[in-house]
Amino acid sequence: MFDFKVLLESIIEIATVVPKTLVLAIFILLLSLLMGAIIALIQQYKVPVFSQIIKVLQSFLRGTPNVVLLYLMYYALPGILTFFAGILRIEFDANSLNPIVTVILTFSISYSVFQSEIIRGSILSIEKGQIEAAQSLGFSFWQTFRRVIIPQALVAAFPDILNSLLVIIKALSLAYLISVVDILGQAKMVGALSYRYLEAFVGAALIYWLIGVILTFISNRFELKLRHGFH
C-alpha cells in the first residue's frame, strides 16, 4: 500500500539536498553562460581553428547522451588534469579530484553550446536601427554593447535562460552515477533505507515538479516586469 506518511518523511529527507542541487545548477548555469558567450563571440568573429573546434564539439555534444559524457569525463578528467599539471609543474593528485568538479565541468561544457545559441539569438533580436542610433549619437563599441545591446538581450534571453536552469536541474539527476548526491540520488538513498522506493520516487517527482512550477512563476513575473513598457 502507498503510505502517505512515508511519502511525507521521504520528501522532508529529500528536501535537505535541494539547496545543494540548486546551488550546483546555478553554478553550472553561470559557467555555461560564460562559456556560451565566449563561443558566441568566437562564432560571430569566425576565429580560425577555434570556430572549427567548436563546430565539431557542437555536433559531438548534440549526438552524445549526457550519461556518456559524464562517464567519459569521470574517467578521462583525472588523466587530463594530471597531464596539464605536469606541464605546469604543479603538484596534483588525481585521486583527490572531487566528483562535483567533474559534474560541474561536464554539464557546463555540455550546455555551453546551447547557451551560445540563446545568446546569439537574443543579440540578433535587437533591431539594427537602435544600434545605429547609438553609434550615430557617438557611443563607442563597448558603450553600445553595454548600454543598448546587453540590457535588451538579457530580457530577450531571460525565459530561455531560466528554462535552461530547469533543464540543468533535471540533468543533475545523473550526478549520482559518479556519487554526487542530488535530489534523485537522495531519493534513492531514502528509498533504500526505508525499503519504500515508490514513496521516495514520488517524493522526488513532486519536488522536481514544485521547482519547475516556481521557476516558471518567477520567469513569468520577471518577464512582465523586465518587459514593462516595451514590446
Site for other proteins (CB under 8 A): which residue of 85, 148, 189, 206?
Answer: 148
**Cβ(180)–Cβ(103) below 8 Å:** yes
What is the nearest approach in angstroms of other proteins to the Cβ of residue 150?
10
* Closest-CA residue to 20 (of 131, 164, 184): 184
Closest to other proteins by CB, 95 or 136 = 136
Binding mask 109-128 for other proteins (x = CB under 8 A): ------------------x-
Site for other proteins (CB under 8 A): which residue of 12, 26, 133, 192?
Answer: 133
CA distance linking residue 33 with residue 161, whole number of Å: 9
> Should residue 140 be labelled a site residue for other proteins when binding is judged by CB under 8 A?
yes
- Give 157's contacts (C-beta < 8 A, 6+ positions apart): 118, 119, 121, 122
Site for other proteins (CB under 8 A): which residue of 98, 137, 224, 225?
Answer: 137
**Cβ(122)–Cβ(157) below 8 Å:** yes
> Should residue 147 be labelled a site residue for other proteins when binding is judged by CB under 8 A?
yes
What is the nearest approach in angstroms of other proteins to the Cβ of residue 115?
22
Tell me which H or E stretch contains 21: helix 18-44
